[in-house]
Each structure stands twice: as C-alpha cells, then as structure tokens.
C-alpha cells in the first residue's frame, strides 16, 4: 500500500495515458486495456493503483479553471479577458485535455455532468462576484457560450471555427461575454 518513487512514476504514466484516452474516446469507449497498453503496463495494474475504471476517471478529472478576478480589471474589458482565458484553457495541452475528458463524458455520464455543473456554477459564479445581480444566470449564460465554442471547435471540429485563430475568436466572443456579465437581462 505504500508508495515508492518507482510506483509514483507508473501511476503518473497511467494517469497521463488515461487522460489521453478519455479525452479522445470518451468514458465508455476508452477501455482499461487500451489505457494500460498505452502506458506500457498490464491492465491489472491500473485496477491495483486506482481501484476501478471509475476511480481512474475521477483521478484523471481534476480541474481548476483559475478564473481571473474581475475586480482588478477595467469594467469594459472583463468580457474580453474571460473569453481569452477560457480559450487559453482549452488550447493548453494539459488543462485542455482534462476539459475535453469532462465535456465528452458529462454528455453521457450523470456523475461527470454533476461535476461539470458544480464546476461552472461555483467557479464561474464566484468569479463574477457575489454582489452581482442575477449572478448564477449570468454565469450560466457565459458558460453556454464558452462551452458552445469549446464543443464546436475542440470536440465537433466545425471547420470555420477551427480555422479562426485564437485572438480573432476572442474578439468575436468578447462582446457576447461582456453583455452576459454586465448588460441588463431580460
């Protein structure tokens, strides 16, 4: 049950392979056997280290959006900064992989959906600040736009969205986010 340097290394190898497979195939189609093969070890080791496929998944999905604090920003720039930050997360190798895992899985797995719900509800709503009126609604609208782009660009790979470079996309999305954060709602 103890952990040596050697075991920690293969644990990490397994986790990296799991993230890649989960991100690429989704929870159901990613098999323990394939993950183990990618990691170059035996499937039984995966179970030994993580207890079960679900345990492995839980370990593979651990995400912190690290949203910036809007208090320190010019009020009319918050939308732009948020849009850029979200896209940056998805563009980044490691956190992008985790987010892909989460999105792919949340769509067919209630547990992952619940995790996604709390992540966006708490982290985004908190970032907007507790003082804001209609905070949860605004956070959800922001989430709908940012998850929508993520879905279309990184999962469905809609060509026109894939073709845009990040800064152009930021410029197109920023006003939307800005409006959801600040403008009066219906």
SS3 98: helix
Q: Which one-letter DSSP state was computed for residue 40?
A: T
Q: Tell me if 156 contacts a second copy by CB under 8 A.
A: yes
Instruction: Write out the E strands in 14-63.
Output: none
Neighbours of 128 (CB within 10 A): 21
| Pattern 44-83, DNA, x by CB under 7 A | xxxxx---xxx-----------------------------
Minimum separation from the CB atom of position 56 to DNA (A)? 7
- Interface positions, 128-147, toward a second copy (CB under 8 A): 136-137, 139-141, 143-147
Give ∠ CA 18-111-82 in degrees, rounded to 5: 80
Q: Tell me if 91 contacts a second copy by CB under 8 A.
A: no
- Residue 157 interaction partner, one of a second copy, DNA, none, beta carbon < 5-8 Å per kind: a second copy
- Residue 31 interaction partner, one of a second copy, DNA, none, beta carbon < 5-8 Å per kind: DNA
Minimum separation from the CB atom of position 5 to DNA (A)? 7
Can you tell me the distance from the alpha carbon of 55 to that of 101, in angstroms, rounded to the nearest whole number? 14
Member of 16, 24, 38, 41 binding DNA (CB under 7 A): 41
């Amino acid at each position: 049950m103890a952990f040596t340097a050697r075991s920690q290394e293969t644990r990490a190898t397994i986790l990296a392979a799991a993230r890649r497979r989960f991100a690429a195939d989704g929870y159901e189609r990613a098999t323990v056997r394939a993950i183990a093969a990618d990691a170059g070890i035996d499937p039984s080791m995966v179970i030994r280290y993580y207890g079960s496929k679900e345990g492995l998944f839980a370990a593979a999905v651990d995400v912190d959006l690290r949203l910036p604090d809007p208090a320190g920003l010019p009020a009319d720039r918050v939308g732009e900064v948020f849009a850029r930050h979200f896209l940056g997360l998805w563009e980044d190798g490691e956190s992008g992989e985790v987010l892909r895992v989460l999105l792919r899985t949340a769509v067919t797995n209630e547990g992952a959906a619940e995790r996604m719900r709390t992540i966006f509800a708490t982290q985004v709503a908190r970032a907007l600040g507790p003082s804001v009126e209609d905070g949860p609604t605004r956070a959800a609208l922001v989430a709908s736009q940012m998850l929508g782009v993520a879905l279309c660009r990184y999962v469905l790979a809609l060509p026109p969205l894939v073709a845009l470079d990040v800064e152009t996309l930021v410029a197109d999305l920023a006003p939307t986010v800005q409006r959801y954060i600040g403008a009066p709602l219906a």
